[in-house]
Amino acid sequence: MKLTEIAADAGDPRLQIEVKGALFALAQWSAQTESDYIVPWGAAIRELGMERARPLIDIMINIGVLTDITEDESKVYKLIDDEEGLFHIIKRNKKIMDAKRKRDRNNGSLIVPVLLRDGAECRYTGEQINFRDTKNDNGGTYDHREPDEPTTPDNYVVASRGANSARAFADDSESDLPLMEPPENPIYDDWILDKLKRWPTITARTAKQMGIPNPLTDSVEAHPAPAASRATAPKSPSTPPSGTTGRQPESSPQFPSDSHKVESTDSLKVESTGRAAQEAQPRRAASSATSSISTATHQHQELSGHQPERDPQPPSRSHVRDQESANVQDLHPARKRRRRVRRR
């Protein structure tokens, strides 16, 4: 409203827009350079121009959005802070602290010992917290007890969001919310176990150094992996070992008694002998003598019940000649008839 009155008195309605643009130009420069609302005179000249810098800064000082904090010869100005609700500039210390928080939460060597020591319990109230809750006071977070010092497990504790905020605005935080001793039996909820699974090697080494059980190892033992169960499972023998008591395992096949062994063995031999005899018969007989010899051989095997180890071999040429000599009289007339037909 004051800027509107100044623009009306000057008779220049564009002055109001020009001052607003100059103010936000200085705020943007401060945010980019992380000067925390501080604007030197040289930066003002650079952003606003050499001719308009002086009158615009005087107007901004007059309406209360800029303050002259010059102490030495160099002129320095400070923009209105966020408490007035005009604009919000993230200060340099807050940027550094946000980057530090993000870096610490992804550091397994720091997070693992803190979670194993504190669990899901606030070190200032002793109440159980919920890390999955990111809005309420009962949500879980971490507190840097010495923000300006390097973060270590000693100055980094688990805290609820409400207690952490209360300590930030308290006049005497150590008296209002003092640090409690670590719990004797830490609570490891699902969120903490999932977090520890990101660094299983660090978790095992830290738990051993602290002399406490490893929650990840206990969960693996309670629910073994399939690969581990296959490696430790004993293999059942396919055949019964010698010297056993005679009792067959449930998975082994049950054999018949001795009284039925002979009958089953004979029937199996006869069946296998007949099957082998049928397979061993030649499809085509070279001659009547060869077929008669193979038939006789098969009949002899069926009567004797003896199964040869391999398929029967065809008779040798000497045997064939002996048999052919007996049928010479039958074969010669056919040859004579062929010769007579050819001569005619």
Read off the pLDDT band of 300 (50, 70, 90).
very low
pLDDT of residue 207: 94
pLDDT of residue 224: 37
How far is the C-alpha of 43 from the C-alpha of 112, rounded, in Å?
A: 47
Same domain, residue pair 74 and 109: no
Which residue, 36, 59, 84, sits at the end of a domain?
Answer: 84
Let me know: does 91 contact 135? Beta carbons within 8 Å.
Answer: no
User: Which tens digits make up the pLDDT trace of 200-229?
Assistant: 999 999 999 999 999 998 654 333 333 333
Same domain, residue pair 69 and 173: no
Range of the domain at 190: 92-209
Residue 288 lies in a domain: no
User: Which tens digits make up the pLDDT trace of 2-16?
Assistant: 999 998 998 988 999
Written as six digits, the tokens of 200 are: 């299983």
Look at 11-20, 58-67, 78-87, 92-101 and tell me which has the smallest mean pLDDT: 78-87
**CA trace torsion 289, 291, 294, 300 (10° rounding):** -90
Residue 247 lies in a domain: no
Same domain, residue pair 26 and 114: no
Largest CA distance in the chain: 153
Same domain, residue pair 61 and 139: no
For the segment 66-81, the average pLDDT, to the nearest whole number, is: 88
Same domain, residue pair 108 and 167: yes
Residue 75 lies in a domain: yes
pLDDT of residue 326: 46
Q: Where are the beta strands (DSSP E) in the chain?
A: 38-40, 66-68, 76-79, 140-144, 156-160
If one counts the domains in the chain, the total is: 2
The pairing of strands 38-40 and 76-79 is: antiparallel
For the segment 17-39, the average pLDDT, to the nearest whole number, is: 91
Which residue, 30, 58, 84, sits at the end of a domain?
Answer: 84
How far is the C-alpha of 241 from the C-alpha of 56, rounded, in Å?
A: 103
Q: Does the pLDDT of residue 51 top 50, yes or no?
A: yes
pLDDT of residue 340: 57
Residue 31 lies in a domain: yes
pLDDT of residue 84: 58
Read off the pLDDT band of 193 (50, 70, 90).
very high
For the segment 118-127, the average pLDDT, to the nearest whole number, is: 95
Residue 232 lies in a domain: no
How far is the C-alpha of 264 from the C-alpha of 206, rounded, in Å?
A: 68
Which amino acid would we find at residue 314? P
User: What percent of the chain is predicted at pLDDT more than 90?
Assistant: 46
Same domain, residue pair 62 and 161: no
Residue 219 lies in a domain: no
Which residue, 168, 191, 209, sits at the end of a domain?
Answer: 209
* Residue length of the chain: 344
User: Which tens digits make up the pLDDT trace of 246-264?
Assistant: 444 444 444 444 444 434 4
Residue 243 lies in a domain: no
For the segment 231-245, the average pLDDT, to the nearest whole number, is: 40
Same domain, residue pair 76 and 127: no
Read off the pLDDT band of 78 (50, 70, 90).
very high
Residue 215 lies in a domain: no
Same domain, residue pair 72 and 117: no
